[in-house]
């Protein structure tokens, strides 16, 4: 019994916009769109009657074809295009017998399957880009709202120096925009595939009758004119060459998807750390529940994004591995791409949609952040103190005095600045009032505000293609 994959084990993508456009039904629709467009393109260059193109287009409706049956019969030929062509040819013959001869006349199965994958990828990347844009907007608003809210900067898991929520979240936004740029660049370059049996388009020439063939506007030969017409029919790019064994479009897509997942994974990782009970600096607003512990409000959105971030790079490695495709058409590499490509699209699609929700729901506990700044008893300001004391004592003695004071503060459970008062060199070099000034973490934020402002001015959605928005 065949049942639709509803995402039971991948909740991040379940019911997301990309989930629908990557369904089995969507792939059948894309294959049919590719088949109909081939016939229309041939009609455009005089290789098929316009009436035949109209018939094929009218019959090529996805609801007339059963994905489960196609999947069963795909085993015989290794891909679902073969049984689909048989069913489509019969359906066209039932509608208009003479037009059935123009179904799948010239292309190979890989032409249709690759083009269908590009159509599904295009629809998915459009949705992913929109959700990445929503996430960037949400993080931008959060960064602006908390431009100067201080929190402890953490390096190698430990408190380092003070930073701001604005700078941290502006960094998230920058990564999301980096992902957006990669996704939109790949989307714009997605090509049709049309090469015939071995990439020469020879079959189309064989079918051509010179008096009826229409040369391209630039004097291109029949094959080049046909590719251009095919690309125009589907709204995809016209490739320089048939890419049956030149898998750049799929590899580039995989790399962009992996980058996007990693970028969102960075955001999720930060949220998961800062939402820990003992840290409590961030929250998801309405968190997820637990099956056993009623008190919990789990950071579920960040968890789902983090899970996707760990899967997509592995899927992308399969797509990159398919670059090693022998011959003019390979046995195995392009077949291996289909499921990983769909899974990667679904996972990033779900993660991007969830990230937009996460950005809109995040809460900042500024009081908790301020309290956590004091957890080290002033030690996170040791860099500042070295810079202040070095001109007076020399860098080496200043660092040695701070090391002694920090050790004593840790052993005695006191504040670093209290411990410094036991260092004669320090008290002789710094008046007590200045020492108190140096103990304020919010006065040691460097260029955090200016960096945040500059980052928030960047928006590749309003820049010209190819222009560096930074």
- Taking only the tens place, the pLDDT of each residue in 226-282 is 999 999 999 999 999 999 999 999 999 999 999 999 999 999 999 999 999 999 999
Q: Output the pLDDT for position 268.
A: 98
Q: What does the chain come to in residues?
A: 470
Per-residue CA distances from 419 to 162, 384, 393 (Å): 21, 16, 17
Contact 107, 154 (CB under 8 A): no
Contact 70, 2 (CB under 8 A): no
User: Is 290 annotated in the active site?
Assistant: yes
Element at 456 (helix H, strand E): helix 448-457
Per-residue CA distances from 47 to 94, 115, 194, 228, 246 (Å): 22, 20, 15, 14, 27
Query: Checking DSSP bridges between strand 150-155 and strand 158-164, what pairing results, if any?
Result: antiparallel
Q: CA dihedral defined by 297, 301, 302, 303, rounded to 10 degrees?
A: 80
Contact 286, 361 (CB under 8 A): yes
Task: Please return the burial class of 151, using the count of CB atoms within 10 Å of its CB with bins 0-12, 13-18 and 19+.
Answer: buried
- 463: Cα separation from own chain's centroid: 20
Per-residue CA distances from 258 to 340, 341, 418, 457, 470 (Å): 12, 11, 49, 26, 23
Q: Output the pLDDT for position 430.
A: 86
**At CA 330, angle to CA 200 and CA 117, rounded to 5?**
80
User: Is 247 annotated in the active site?
Assistant: no
Sign of CA dihedral 71, 74, 75, 78: negative
**Largest interatomic CA distance in the chain:** 102
Instruction: Choose, from 182, 329, 342, 384, the residue flagged as catalytic.
Output: 329
SS3 content of the chain, % helix, strand, coil (to 5): 65, 5, 30
Distance in angstroms (rounded) separating the CA atoms of residues 14 and 93: 39
The DSSP letter of residue 371 is: H
Contact 140, 132 (CB under 8 A): no
Q: Is 394 left (phi over 0), alpha (psi -120 to 50) or beta?
A: left
Per-residue CA distances from 74 to 46, 79, 109, 114, 343 (Å): 32, 5, 11, 16, 20
φ, ψ of residue 196 to 5 degrees: the values are 75, -160
> Which of 284, 267, 261, 273 has the alpha carbon at shortest distance from 352?
261
Instruction: Choose, from 290, 317, 447, 463, the residue flagged as catalytic.
Output: 290
CB atoms under 10 Å from CB of 360, counted, come to 15
Tell me the pLDDT tens digit for each residue of 11-26.
888 888 999 999 999 9
Radius of gyration of the chain (CA): 30
Whose tokens are 């990693």? That residue is 262
Helices assigned H by DSSP within 235-332: 248-274, 300-321
The residues of the chain scoring below 70 in pLDDT are: 1-4, 209-220, 287-296, 463-470
Share of the chain above pLDDT 70, in %: 93
424: helix, coil or strand? Answer: helix
């Amino acid at each position: 019994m065949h049942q639709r994959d509803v995402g039971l084990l991948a909740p991040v993508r379940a019911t997301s916009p990309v989930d629908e456009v990557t369904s089995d039904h969507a792939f059948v629709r894309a294959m049919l769109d590719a088949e109909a467009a081939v016939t229309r393109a041939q009609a455009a260059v005089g290789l098929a009657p316009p009436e035949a193109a109209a018939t094929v287009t009218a019959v090529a409706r996805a609801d007339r074809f059963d994905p489960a049956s196609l999947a069963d019969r795909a085993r015989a030929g290794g891909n679902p295009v073969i049984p689909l062509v048989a069913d489509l040819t019969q359906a066209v013959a039932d509608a208009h017998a003479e037009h059935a001869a123009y179904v799948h006349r010239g292309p190979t199965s890989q032409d249709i399957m690759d083009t269908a994958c590009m159509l599904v990828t295009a629809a998915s990347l459009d949705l992913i880009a929109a959700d990445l844009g929503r996430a960037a907007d949400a993080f931008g608003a959060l960064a602006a709202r908390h431009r100067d809210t201080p929190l402890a900067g953490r390096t190698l898991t430990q408190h380092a120096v003070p930073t701001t929520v604005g700078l941290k979240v502006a960094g998230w936004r920058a990564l999301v925009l980096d992902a957006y740029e990669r996704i939109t660049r790949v989307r714009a370059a997605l090509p049709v595939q049309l090469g015939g049996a071995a990439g020469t388009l020879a079959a189309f020439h064989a079918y051509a009758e010179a008096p009826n063939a229409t040369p391209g506007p630039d004097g291109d030969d029949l094959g080049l004119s046909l590719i251009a017409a095919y690309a125009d029919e589907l709204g995809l790019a016209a490739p320089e060459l048939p890419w049956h064994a030149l898998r750049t479009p799929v590899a580039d897509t995989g790399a962009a998807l992996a980058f996007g997942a990693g970028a969102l994974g960075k955001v999720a990782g930060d949220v998961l750390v800062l939402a820990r009970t003992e840290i409590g600096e961030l929250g998801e607003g309405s968190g997820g529940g637990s099956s056993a512990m009623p008190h919990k409000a789990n950071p579920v959105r960040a968890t789902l994004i983090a899970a996707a971030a760990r899967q997509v790079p592995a899927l992308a490695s399969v797509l990159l591995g398919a670059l090693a495709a022998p011959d003019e058409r390979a046995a195995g590499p392009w077949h291996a791409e289909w499921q990983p490509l769909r899974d990667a699209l679904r996972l990033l699609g779900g993660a991007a949609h969830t990230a937009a929700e996460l950005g809109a729901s995040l809460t900042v506990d500024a009081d908790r952040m301020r309290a956590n700044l004091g957890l080290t008893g002033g030690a996170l300001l040791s860099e500042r103190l070295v810079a202040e004391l070095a001109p007076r004592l020399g860098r080496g003695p200043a660092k040695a005095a701070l090391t002694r004071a920090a050790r004593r503060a840790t052993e005695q459970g006191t504040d670093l600045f209290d411990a410094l008062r036991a260092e004669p060199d320090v008290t002789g070099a710094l008046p007590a009032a200045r020492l108190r000034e140096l103990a304020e973490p919010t006065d040691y934020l460097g260029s955090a505000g200016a960096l945040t402002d500059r980052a928030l001015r960047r928006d590749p959605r309003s820049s010209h293609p190819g222009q560096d928005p930074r």
